[in-house]
Homo-oligomer: A and B are copies of this chain.
Amino acid sequence: MNAAAQLADNRRKLLEIAAEEILENGFQATSIGDILTKSGLSKGALYHHFPSKLTLGYAVFEEVFVPECATRWEPALNTPDPITSISILLRAQVHEMTDEMIRLGCPVNNLGQEMSPIDEGFRQRINREINHWRDELAAAFKRGQATGHVKTEIDTRQVATFFIASIEGAIGLAKNAQDRALLETCTEGLINYLEGLRA
């Protein structure tokens, strides 16, 4: 491996291990020392790539958590019948979630709940991302209205907002209980709600 590739590789390794630690312990309780031990890299290497723990956290959010979520939801958004495709994806996602994922919850929401009240940098990044989800979802419902699959009288943005809140709430509940059944129950409730929006 050439030098440039090795460099990028070390940066990536730090990001991914930091992501694991942050997901497991939260940002504040994540220790730089633990990241170094797990990665086998040195403090010098880390502080060469990232000027502070906070900027490392921002990078983890933008370069690990956000892309993860994006690839997960993309397939359901650009379809003529969003209610059907979202319901299918929802059931599939819940089915594919590992016990570990249920125990740890949604990375983006976890970070938001922990850091939003105490760090404006995190808050803005997370808020921007969630607004992005809202926009994409609302656009999907609007498309469904255009194709005649979704009731025209609904406020698509309100539905999108409620949808995200319900999902994040459901993941949080399942995380507390460490119980997949809770997630399935909430998913069915949410799908019931969506079916009520069908034209």
A155 to chain B, nearest CB (A): 9
**Taking the complex as formed, is A87 at the interface, i.e. its CB lies under 8 A from any CB of chain B?**
no
16 CB < 8 A contacts A-B: A24-B118, A103-B117, A112-B172, A112-B175, A113-B172, A113-B175, A116-B175, A116-B176, A123-B176, A131-B177, A161-B182, A162-B170, A162-B189, A162-B193, A165-B170, A193-B196
Within 8 A of B (CB), among A123-161: 123, 126-127, 130-131, 157-159, 161
A53 to chain B, nearest CB (A): 13
Q: How far is the CA of A116 from the CA of B176 in the complex (A)?
A: 5
- Cβ contacts under 8 Å, A10 to chain B: none
- B116 pairs with A113, CB closer than 8 A: no
- B188 pairs with A158, CB closer than 8 A: yes
**Taking the complex as formed, is A39 at the interface, i.e. its CB lies under 8 A from any CB of chain B?**
no
Nearest CB in chain B to that of A122: its residue: B176
Copies in the complex: 2
Q: How far is the CA of A6 from the CA of B188 in the complex (A)?
A: 52
- A117 pairs with B175, CB closer than 8 A: yes
Q: How far is the CA of A123 from the CA of B162 in the complex (A)?
A: 27
A interface list, Cβ under 8 A from B: 24-26, 28-29, 103-105, 109-110, 112-114, 116-118, 123, 126-127, 130-131, 157-159, 161-162, 164-170, 172-173, 175-178, 182, 185-186, 188-190, 193, 196
- B185 pairs with A158, CB closer than 8 A: yes
Q: How far is the CA of A165 from the CA of B166 in the complex (A)?
A: 6
- B25 pairs with A118, CB closer than 8 A: yes
- Cβ contacts under 8 Å, A182 to chain B: 161
